[in-house]
Structure 1
Amino acid sequence: MRRVEHVMGLPVSLRVDDADVPGEAADAVFAWLREADARFSPFRADSEVSRLDRGEVTRISAGLREVLGLCEEYRLATGGAFDARLPGRGLDPCAIVKGWAVQRAAGLLRAAGARRFCLNAGGDVAVGGGPWRVGVRHPEHAGRLCAVLEVTDGAVATSARYERGDHILDGRTGRPATGLLSLTVVAPTLTEADAVATAAFAMGAEGVEWAAARPGCEVFAVDAGRRVRRTPGLPPAAGERTGRTPV
C-alpha cells in the first residue's frame, strides 16, 4: 500500500508492506491528519487553537490539553528557549502538533495490523518493522545526504534552516536560532523526536548535549561551524559529507 497526500501544509507519504492491512487504514490515517490540521493549526481562523488564542474558548479538548501540556514541558526543560507563546505572536503549537499527530496516525496503522510501515511527513518519519534507511539531508546541499540512518521501530525528525530559513526562534531572546545548521533526533516516537529536535535547535549549540541527555534520544547535528556532532548510540550511518571531521 502506498499513498501520498498534501496535509498540514506538507507532503505526507505512507507505505505499508503488509498485504493483509485494509485500505481503510490509510483512509483513517489521512482523515486523522486532516482533522488535526483543522483543529490545531494557528493558520486557520476557525481552529480550536486560534479560537483559544482569541479568548473564544473556555473549555479545551483533551487533545489540545495534551499538546499544550507538552509545549509547557519543553518550555520548562529548555529554560524558555522553546516557547509556543512568543511575545508579539499568537499561540503556535505547530512544533509539537506535527510529530504528535503523525505518531497518533502510526498508532492507527498498528491497530489495523500494520507491522512494517513508513509514514513520512515532510521528511520526519515514523517507522515500524524495519530496518528502514532514513536519509538526513545535507544542510547546505539539497541534492546530497550527510547521513543515512537505519531504524527498525521508532522515529526520526530534523530541524534545520535550509527549507524555511531562520524560522525557529530562541524564546529567551526572541531572535532566530543560528547556532546550528541542522539537528536530527532519533527517538522511540515522533512526538519526542520532533519536539526534541525543534527545542534543541532553538537552544543553539548547547541544545546538542541537552537533546543527547533526553532518555531514548540519539542525535546527529551539524553546527554553524560545519562540525558534525553525534551521539555514540546513533543507528549505523554512512555518507557523512559535511566537509569537516566529526567531533
Structure 2
Amino acid sequence: MICFALLAHKDEEALLQQVQNIRQYNPEQALIVLYNGGSDPNFGRSVCEQERVLYCTDSRPLQPGKTGRFFYDVMAWLEKKRIAYDYLVYTESDVMFIHHGFGRLLEQLMDGYDCLVEAIKVETDPQSRKWTTAAKMWNEWPRWQPFFRSAFFYGTFNPMQVYRQAIVKKMLARIHKPQLERLLETTNVISLGEMLYLTMAMQCGAKCQEYPSKYRKCFRFRPSISLQEIQQASSNPDIMFAHPIKDAAVRAWISGQYYAD
C-alpha cells in the first residue's frame, strides 16, 4: 500500500484533478491523506468525501515556505490512527503522474532501502552559502543541533520523498516531541522538510536511495512545467511524474490524456 501525504490549501478543482490522477495511475494501491495547510477549515472536505480521501484532522494553517511540519503531522496522525502502509510519499499540490508503474518502481528502487529521494546532500560546512535553505538552517544551528544531535545534516528535494513505515516508526520514536514543537513554532527556516526527514531517517540507520536521473526529466523546483514539455514527456514511459504543475491547462491535458489512452 502506498500512502500519499498530500499538502494543499486552495483550488478544490485542482485538488480533485490531482486526487483522481493519483488514483488513476496507482490503481488499487493508493491511500491518500489530505493535509489542509490553508486558513479555510472546510477546504478539501467535499473532495475527501467524494473520493474516499482521508482528512488529516491535525491539519493547521501553514505560512508559504514554512510547510515543514506537514509531513511530521501526517506521520504522527497515521501512527495515532494505527493506519498501515508500505510506503509514505511526500506529495505537494503541484505534482501529477503521467505514466503508470510507480508502485513497481518503488518495489525495484526500495529493495534493500528504507527511503527514496530526489538527491542526497550532506551539509557539513556552516560557512557554505551555495544552498539558501541549508544556509538558513546553519543560521539557526545552535537551536537545531541539540535536536539533531549531530554536527551536520542531510538535504534533498521535498516532493516525492518516500519512506517505509518501519523507518517512520523509528523516526517518530526518536523525536522529543515538546522539543520539536518548540522548534517548529519558532523557526524561520524555509523548506524545512528538505532537511528534517532525511536527516532523521539517516540518524535512525536508514539506507537511502536516489531516483535515477531518467525518472527526473520532468521534476524540478522551477519554472512550472509547460504544456509542450508535458506532451513531450508523455512519450517517455520512464517519466512517471512531473513537478511543478501550476498551469490549469497542463493539469487539464494530463487529466484528459489518461482517458484518451
- TM-score exceeds 0.5: no
Structure number having the greater helix percentage:
2
Structure number having the greater strand percentage:
1
By relative contact order (CA 8 Å, sep 6+), the higher-ranking structure is 2
